Amino acid sequence: MKLPASAPRRILIVDDSPEIVMSLSTLLGMSGNTTFAARDGEEALTMAEQVRPEVILLDLGLPKLDGFEVCRRIRQQSWGKEMVIVALTGWGNDETRYKTRQIGFRHASRQAAGPGNPLRGARVSRSGDARPLKMRR
């Protein structure tokens, strides 16, 4: 999916950590985006169908349904086939990277760790192409 560089996006943030959801929502809202939040996999599916976001930032380790299953189910829907879905994860191993690509995530990004600083070094692309969040250490 290619979007005009200046177009604000509808972005669904899915994470069971209220701090991460609030931080991402604030950061992305400052760029003119409209954000929506879900705290578990079932809520993510409902919100994705209702708001049809252009981008979903999806944690893999969620209650009720994990992020892998959420992505798989969204990709089965006609409205979800081209949606940009970015995996947010603390799991950086090869198996996780392989599995995210196979299931249909467009990108995977390691979450920055640190109490009170879940977005340390996050950069969000405003270009027309979806790119992963780059996390610096």
Which comes out higher in pLDDT, residue 52 or 104? 52
Q: Tell me which H or E stretch contains 92.
A: none
Q: Which of 62, 90, 85 is nearest to 75 (CA)?
A: 85
Give me the chain's average pLDDT, please.
78
What are the φ and ψ backbone dihedral angles of 6, each rounded to 5 degrees? Answer: -90, -5
What does the angle CA 97 – CA 102 – CA 105 come to, to the nearest 5 degrees?
70
- Which CATH number fits the domain 10-110, given the four candidates 3.30.200.20, 3.40.50.2300, 3.40.50.1980, 3.50.50.60? 3.40.50.2300
Residue 97 confidence (pLDDT): 74
Domain range summary for the chain, segments of one domain joined by + = 10-110
In whole angstroms, give the CA distance from residue 136 to residue 85: 21
Q: Give the tens place of pLDDT for each residue, 102-113.
A: 777 876 666 654
Contact 41, 66 (CB under 8 A): yes
Q: Is it the case that residue 41 has pLDDT exceeding 50?
A: yes
Q: For residues 34 and 78, is the Cβ–Cβ distance under 8 A?
A: no
Q: Which residues contact 133 (CB under 8 A, 6 or more apart)?
A: 57, 86, 109, 122, 123, 124
Q: Which pTM does this prediction carry?
A: 0.73
The string of pLDDT tens digits covering residues 77-87 is 999 999 999 88
Tell me the per-residue pLDDT of 124-135, one tens digit each, with 9 for 90 and over: 333 333 444 333
